[in-house]
Structure 1
Amino acid sequence: MSLTTNANLPWTYDNPPEWYKRYPYANGTCQSPINIDTLDTIPHMYPPFVFSSKYYLDHLFTSTNTGQQIKTTLFKRTDDDSDDVLWFSGSSLPGRFHFVDFHLHWGHNVRCGSEHEINGHRFPAEVHFVYRNRNSEHIAVLAFFFTVVNDDAHDHSEWKRYAEVVSQLMKAHSTTTCTFNLGQLMPIVNGEFFRYVGSLTTPPCTEGIIWTVFSHTIPIKGKSLNLLRQNVLGTAYRPTQPLNGRTIFRNYYSKYDINL
């Protein structure tokens, strides 16, 4: 994900270890993604997220092939307040965070594709929903993993439609508009997640990003991911980065917490 203009300098997923040569932040000590070792996480019960009343309605979005990923933003109108309809607060994050964009990361097969790992396990894809606090300029990202299913009954219809729409964006800088429902694309089922401070996972790799990585997964058919691999990019993820002593919190208790 990239939120600053200097990210327009050339970069690709062919050589992530070389990003630091043009983007010094990429060589920092608080980079993302990371491998989350659940045994080394600390339990901390966060208050619930509070989403805006229009979060579960359909909205018109614009999807753009940036040349490195598909970025989806709210469709810009000049006659309404569409920038203010999608926001969240709560979960011990300061103030109100407004929606910026969402984008998907994937790999060349089902054994890779997610950026974060859980206990060394990588998922076939991962989606990032990016938000900004307009007062503090803090960035918060809500991340969800995907698992591949084989039957239509368990396929996620909203993500199936997303893949069908954006897989048509075969050329860099091509765009399309489509109606999506973020409440369906971003299912917060049981509220279990991990929280840590890291960085953007694409250049300029700016640090200070508040990450919330949900532990449950979203089902998607392999056919949908194949549409993205074949038509957009074969691979679109950054390898994990060193933790460097950072603390990872988890929003649930486990059997190992009996003495807490």
Structure 2
Amino acid sequence: MRNFLHVFTLMSFQTCEWCYRSQFSCQDTCRGEDKHSKWKNNFPNCGGQRQSPINIITRKVKHDPKLTSFIFDGHENVFNMSVKNHGHSAHFTLPQSVRLRGGGLPATYKAVQFHLHWGENGGQGSEHSVDGECYPMELHIVHIKEKYGSLGDALNDSTGVAALAFFFEVLIPFSEIEDFKLTDIIPQANKLNYYRYLGSLTTPGCDQAVVWTVFQQTLPISKKQLLFGTEKPMTGVFRPVQNLNGRVVYTSVPAHNLCVLPNLITLFLCLFCVFGQQRCFH
């Protein structure tokens, strides 16, 4: 965990053609999603009816018995990663030997990359929220159907991309991990309960081709790991939640088994978001 998060301290901020509202200023030329410049003005898909992220309202989710346990292939393998700074986040490449199947998905998917979304000073940083509860950071692991050669090809398929979303919660003291493998941070597949909905990329061009899986279990992270930065740090790199527009959110467990109780830390973070003029949900 420490090793790949530490990479951010070595990376400089790069300009890009779009940005988050936290990075927008009168001097910047990037296209920020705020009241002055909407992403959809330059990227039409960002104004679509199947946009991500969303606020998941647990009393409205529907149980789908077809949402069975996942099968994670290659998560136990140790591998080397390359990292690319996009100016708004960093993408960590994953080998194609990392595969995803089961979980009610229509095909087997191969991994492409993972990346993180985070806030500032431990405040709201997750893109998705659950009953309005937000978290300081969210991990996205992006996969494409194994028959496609690239993410670009998969985006032409309405279910061509499968994204796994995990929330981080500040729970543990600082620790070191010598070698990295996905099982270091992700629990066993058969122990994971999750929500499922059809959505989009959360960055431009916002292609509506993503089968989203948002896990209920949170991942632990220390305060020191969370508060990484650069000479010009990237902070507030998350998109606000979008309208459901009639979409149904499904769950892998019956509604009576759902238990989403915010602890004092996450409750404080949500209050911080609200009173800090950063809304957690719409």
Same fold by TM-score, threshold 0.5 exceeded?
yes
Of 44, 50, 53, the match for 1:33? 53
Q: Which amino acid aligns with 2:142?
A: V
**How far is the alpha carbon of 1:34 from its aligned partner?**
0.3
Where in structure 2 are the equivalents of 1:60-79 lying within 5 Å? 60-74=80-94
Q: 1:157 to 1:214 in 2, by over 3 A?
A: farther
- Seen in structure 2, the aligned counterparts of structure 1 residues 49 and 13 have a Cα distance that, compared at 3 Å, is same
**Within-5 A mapping of 1:74-85:** 74=94, 83-85=95-97
Aligned residues: 219
Q: CA deviation at 1:47?
A: 2.1
1:141 to 154, 163, 188: 163
Q: Is contact 2:68–2:252 with CA below 8 Å preserved after alignment?
A: no
Aligned to 1:50: 71
Q: Tell me, in whole angstroms, the C-alpha distance in 2 between the residues paired with 1:231 and 1:101.
A: 24
Q: Does structure 1 conserve the Cα–Cα contact (< 8 Å) formed by 2:81 and 2:93? A: yes
CA RMSD across the alignment: 2.2
Matched ranges for 1:1-260 at <5 A: 10-14=17-21, 15-17=32-34, 18-45=38-65, 46-52=67-73, 54-74=74-94, 83-135=95-147, 137=154, 138-149=160-171, 151-152=172-173, 157-158=176-177, 180-188=180-188, 190-228=191-229, 232-255=233-256
Amino acid at match of 2:125: G
The one-letter code of the counterpart of 1:48 is S
The gaps in structure 1 that reach 5 residues or longer are: 1-7, 75-82, 162-178
The superposition leaves residues 198-252 of structure 1 with CA deviations (integer Å, 9 ceiling, x where unpaired) of 0000011000210000011011111112114776402110000001110000111
Q: Classify 1:157/1:247 alpha carbon distance in 2 versus 1 (closer, same or farther; 3 Å).
A: farther
Task: Give the counterpart letter for 1:108 in structure 2.
Answer: E
Q: TM-score, normalised by structure 2?
A: 0.72
**1:89 Cα deviation (Å)?**
1.0
Distance (whole Å) between structure 1 residues aligned to residue 64 and residue 162 of structure 2 = 18
Could you tell me how far apart the structure 1 residues matched to 2:57 and 2:42 are?
31
CA apart distance, 1:180: 2.2
The secondary structure found in structure 2 opposite 1:242 is coil
CA distance in 2, matches of 1:256, 1:73: 36
Q: Counterparts of 1:9 and 1:232 in 2: how far apart (Å)?
A: 15
Instruction: Tell whether the 8 Å contact from 2:16 to 2:87 is kept in structure 1 after alignment.
Output: no
Alpha-carbon distance, 1:157 to partner: 4.7
| CA offsets 1:23-44 (integer angstroms, 9 cap, x no match) | 1000111100000000000012
| Post-superposition offset of 1:55 | 2.2
Q: CA deviation at 1:84?
A: 3.5
Three-state SS of the structure 2 residue aligned to 1:213 is: strand
Q: Which 5+ residue runs of structure 2 have no aligned equivalent?
A: 1-14, 22-31, 149-153, 155-159, 259-282
Deviation, 1:9, is 6.7
Over the matched positions of the two proteins, sequence identity in percent amounts to 33
Per-residue CA shift, 1:41-80, capped at 9, x if unaligned? 001232221122x320211111121111010003xxxxxx
How many angstroms apart in 1 are the aligned matches of 2:213 and 2:46?
20
Partner of 2:6: none
Q: Which structure has more strand as a fraction of its residues?
A: 1
Task: Check conservation: 1:105, 1:237, Cα contact below 8 A.
Answer: yes
Asked whether the equivalents of residues 99 and 131 of structure 1 are also in contact (C-alpha less than 8 Å), the reply is yes
3-state SS of paired residue (2:162): strand
Paired amino acid for 1:147:
E
Q: Distance in 2 between matches of 1:186 and 1:201?
A: 22
Q: Secondary structure at the match of 2:71?
A: strand
